[in-house]
Amino acid sequence: MTIRKVFINLSALIVVFVFLFPVIWILLSSFKPASELFRVPLTLFPENWTSQNYLSAWRHTDFLLYFGNTMFIAIVSTILLVFISTMCGYSLAKYKYKWLNVVFICILSTQMLPTEVIMNPLLQVIRRLGLVNSLWGVILPSLGNPTAVFMMRQYFLTIPDEIIESARLEGASEFQIFTRLMIPLARPAIAALAIFSMRWRWNSYLTPLLVLTNPSRWTLQIGLRNLIGAENIEWHIVLPSALLSMIPMIIIFVLFQKQVLGIDLTSGGKG
Amino acid sequence: MNQHKIYKTWAFLFTLPNIILFVLFFAIPAVLGLVFSFTNFNGFSGEFVGLDNYIHLLFHDEHFMGVIIRTTIFALIAPILGYLVSLGLALLLSDKDLVFGTVAKVLVYIPTLMSPVVSAITMRWLFGENFGFINHLLETIGLDPVKWSTDGYAAFIMVILVGIWGAGGFNMILILGRLRSIPPELYEAAKIDGASVWQRFRNVTIPMLKPITFLILLLGTISAFKEFAVIDTLTNGGPGMATTFYVLYMYRIGFERLLIGLASAGSMILFIILLVLASVQTKLQKGGEIS
């Protein structure tokens, strides 16, 4: 029995190490001086630890600019997405009209039309709206999100209709019922959606690539793509930049670890 | 009656933003894409060319069939291997003898936090042909270094490995959720009947995991057909065309060569592929609910 225990723990240790190794390797490499990065034989740990690369990455690239653009897109998208999807999900769950079913089917059907399929015509529409090279050109198309609407609708289905009925009898208006009663009740679902949305938008690639061609509008992902796409890749800049770009996602993961791991359990796959 | 009208108005107002977004960013582009696919539109002007784009792609384009075959192979292999790895992870990390299960799960999940671009950067650094750790390791133990960026097969394998690594933690969490919901009585009963560890796995765990297995495989297949960000950053489709998958090829046609009509026809074909996969998914999901 103890042999089994040793075997299981040892293999788990190896597996976890292998899985995490790419992250460890890039992290340790980012602290090596540029001269040490390619020195054979490679060593796991830097001989002379330095944070110089991080400073160079900060100065060399418009890191702060990309960071700001990405943050603006992520936060504004998330606030609007949560608001719009909560309203829509509530309406789909709590009002009973035939045309609402049609709306619901239309929204779900957009899952069949990911950006990858409609990238050309979508860009034409965004261009016609004058939103090319505007952060809004990335934000607006991302707001009609079927997963988000579906998530909120499912949540509101679990809230009993009687609560709404009694509020109506007490004379509350529909808008008041939604803002004062329903939004507070939906807080767990809203929090989950917000966390999800932040991750989607922070890591999003295709739409920013299509819409934001002007370097002053780039997001972190597009800025990183440009660094790694260069003829001579400056690895001592690329590595710290890539790691720095992850900090907000790591903070979110640390703060909301339970929700992040829990969300994937219940609504996984609908991203 | 009046009250009824108020409800109806609010129901409409609450859904209005999503209706507008649907029309603007889904319905119009979808119709526009279909129209483009019958023209030689280049972003400024175009004429109606009938089915020429479709005929060109399917019968005359020198790369299209290769791209389809390559993408299909990728979309079949990567999800299956990925699933097996995730299943192994889930079983190992939920083992009752494991003393650091929670920490292990969190650590394995960490790579999932990386964006496609960051994971591609990480992998390029790790797989670098002349400077990467992997080749260094191979040479240290006396093997030949692998030409990850100049040999097409090696590059293809690298892309699959990256896919497995990137999705592993996420799929593991899905499988763990399902494993946890298997009633322990089933295992107890099998034990009493004298079933061995392998028989219990074969006759209890595998059937109970069936719905989530189908879900993971299908979602994996669909996202493999949509693969773009990782290969664009990791290999740029190369060497040659070795890792140029469907969406990347359409991106090249539509945005680099500005043959928007042709790219739109390709997108319509992709749409049909995704539609077929999605209908398979709904069928299987319904089947899964019953069992």
Give the domains, in start order, of chain B with CATH numbers.
54-290 (1.10.3720.10)
Tokens of A66: 């990309």
CB B132 within 8 A of CB B126: yes
Q: Which of A88-92, A100-104, A232-236 has the lowest mean pLDDT?
A: A232-236
A179 vs A96, A227, B291, CA distance in Å?
A: 20, 45, 40
Distance separating alpha carbons of residues A30 and A26, to the nearest angstrom: 6
pLDDT at B39: 93
Residue entry with tokens 């929090």:
A191
pLDDT digits (tens, 9 = 90+) for A31-77: 998 888 888 788 888 888 988 899 988 887 788 999 999 999 999 99
pLDDT for A123 = 94
Among A79, A117, A149, A243, the strongest candidate for a mutation testing the B interface, having the largest count of B CBs within 10 A, is A117
**B57 Cβ partners below 8 Å, 6+ apart?**
B64, B262, B265, B266, B269
pLDDT at A270 over 80: no
Q: What is the pLDDT of residue B211?
A: 84
pLDDT of B289 above 60: no
**CA B36 to CA B271: how far, in whole Å?**
14
Q: Which of B97, B119, B124 is facing A8, going by the closest CB pair?
A: B97
Candidates A118, A206, A238; nearest CB to B229: A206
Please say if the pLDDT value at position B291 is more than 50: no
Q: pLDDT digit string (tens) for B230-239?
A: 999 999 888 9
- The answer to whether residue B92 neighbours chain A at the CB level (below 8 Å) is yes
Contact status, residue B192 vs residue B262, Cβ threshold 8 Å: no
Min Cα separation A134/chain B (Å): 16
Tell me how far apart the alpha carbons of residues B96 and B102 are, in angstroms, rounded to a whole number.
Answer: 12
Instruction: Please state, in angstroms and rounded to a whole number, the distance separating the CA atoms of residues A15 and B86.
Output: 11
Q: Tell me which of A212-216, A228-232, B126-130, B223-227 is least confident.
A: A228-232
Q: What pLDDT is attached to residue A241?
A: 94
Are the Cβ atoms of B97 and A85 closer than 8 angstroms?
A: no
Q: Are B166 and B112 in contact (CB under 8 A)?
A: yes
pLDDT value of position A268: 38
Q: Please tell me the distance in Å from A92's CA to the nearest CA on chain B.
A: 8
**A261 with B111: Cβ contact below 8 A:** no
B22 touches chain A (CB under 8 A): yes
Q: How far is A259 from chain B (nearest CA, A)?
A: 12
User: Can you give the residue ranges of every domain in chain A?
Assistant: 19-50, 63-267
Q: Which of A114, A178, A228 sits opposite B233 (nearest CB)?
A: A228
What does each C-alpha distance from A185 to A146, A171, B10, B44 come to in angstroms?
A: 21, 19, 19, 50
| Chain A contact present for B98, CB below 8 A | yes
Report pLDDT for A265: 43
What gap in Å lies between CA A228 and CA B118, rounded to an integer?
A: 10
Inter-chain residue contact B173 with A110, CB threshold 8 Å: no
pLDDT in tens, A145-156: 999 999 999 999
Nearest CA in chain B to A238: B121
Structure tokens of B38?
């019958």
The SS3 call for residue B258 is coil
Shortest Cα–Cα distance, A139 to chain B (Å): 11
For residue A70, the model assigns a pLDDT of: 97
Judging contacts by C-beta atoms under 8 Å, the chain B residues touching residue A253 are 110, 113
Average predicted confidence (pLDDT) for chain A: 90
What pLDDT, in 10s, does the model give residues B46-102? 889 989 999 999 999 999 999 999 999 999 999 999 999 999 999 999 988 898 888
Report helix, strand and coil shares of chain A as percent, to nearest 5.
Answer: 75, 0, 25
Q: How many residues does chain A have?
A: 271
Q: What is the CATH number of domain A63-267?
A: 1.10.3720.10
Q: Is B165 on the interface with A (CB under 8 A)?
A: yes
Q: How far is CA A48 from the centre of its chain?
A: 35
- Cβ–Cβ gap B113/A268 under 8 Å: no
- Residue matched to tokens 């292999």: B77
pLDDT over 60 at A264, yes or no:
no
Q: Is the pLDDT of residue A271 over 60?
A: no
- Is residue A266 over pLDDT 70? no
**More confident of the two residues B90 and A260:** B90
pLDDT at B1 (0 to 100): 53
Q: How far is the alpha carbon of B144 from chain A, nearest alpha carbon, in Å?
A: 16
CB contact (8 A) between residue B116 and residue A205: yes
For B253-286, the pLDDT digits (tens) are 999 999 999 999 999 999 999 888 888 877 776 6
> B268-271: long-range contacts (C-beta < 8 A, 24 or more apart)?
B268/B33, B268/B34, B268/B37, B268/B54, B269/B54, B269/B57, B270/A116, B270/A117, B270/B225, B270/B246, B271/A112, B271/A113, B271/A117
Could you give the angle at which helices B116-127 and A220-228 cross, rounded to 10 degrees? 20
pLDDT of residue A194 exceeding 60, the answer is: yes
Q: Long-range contacts of range A262-266, CB-CB < 8 Å, 24 or more positions apart?
A: A262/A192, A263/A192, A263/A195, A263/A196, A264/B170, A264/B173, A264/B174, A264/B177, A265/B173, A265/B174, A265/B176, A265/B177, A266/B177
